[in-house]
Amino acid sequence: MNAELKDFLNENKQEIEQRLPKYLEQLPAPKTLKEAMIYSLNAGGKRIRPVLLLATLHSFGKPVELGYDVACAVEMIHTYSLIHDDLPAMDDDDMRRGKPTNHKVYGEAIAILAGDALLTYSFELITKANVGDLSAEQKLLLIQELAKASGPEGMVGGQVADLEGENKALTLDGLVYIHHHKTGDLLTVSIVAGAIIAGANEKDITNLRLFAKELGLLFQIKDDILDVEGDAITIGKPVGSDDGNNKSTYPSLLGLDGAKKKLEEHKLRAKEYLYEVEMNHHLLEALTDYVAERDH
C-alpha closest to that of 101 among 82, 120, 121, 74:
82
Q: Output the CA torsion sign for 276, 281, 285, 287.
A: negative
Q: Which residue has the higher pLDDT, 156 or 245?
A: 156
Q: Which residue has the higher pLDDT, 42 or 236?
A: 42
Structure confidence by residue, pLDDT tens digits, 60-99: 999 999 999 999 999 999 999 999 999 999 999 999 888 9
pLDDT of residue 233 exceeding 70: no
Structure confidence by residue, pLDDT tens digits, 234-289: 545 455 555 555 678 999 999 999 999 999 999 999 999 999 999 999 999 999 99
Q: How far is residue 100's CA from residue 182's CA, in Å, rounded to a whole number? A: 23
C-alpha closest to that of 211 among 277, 146, 148, 280:
277
Which domains, and CATH codes, for the chain? Answer: 3-293 (1.10.600.10)
- pLDDT bracket for residue 231 (50, 70, 90): low
pLDDT of residue 145 exceeding 80: yes
Q: How crowded is residue 212: how many other Cβ atoms within 10 Å of its Cβ?
A: 27
pTM as predicted: 0.91
Q: Which residue has the higher pLDDT, 165 or 142?
A: 142
| Proportion of the chain above pLDDT 90, given as a percent | 82
Q: Taking all residues of the chain, what is their mean pLDDT, rounded to a whole number? A: 92
What pLDDT is attached to residue 3?
86
| Proportion of the chain above pLDDT 70, given as a percent | 94
Q: How far is residue 71's CA from residue 19's CA, in Å, rounded to a whole number? A: 10
Q: How far is residue 253's CA from residue 21's CA, in Å, rounded to a whole number? A: 40
Do 111 and 102 form a contact (C-beta atoms < 8 A)? yes
What pLDDT is attached to residue 235?
46
**Average pLDDT value for residue range 208-234:** 87
- pLDDT bracket for residue 128 (50, 70, 90): very high
**Average pLDDT value for residue range 153-181:** 92
What pLDDT is attached to residue 295?
86
Q: CA angle at residue 294 from 189 to 229, to 5 degrees?
A: 115
C-alpha closest to that of 283 among 3, 69, 4, 79:
4
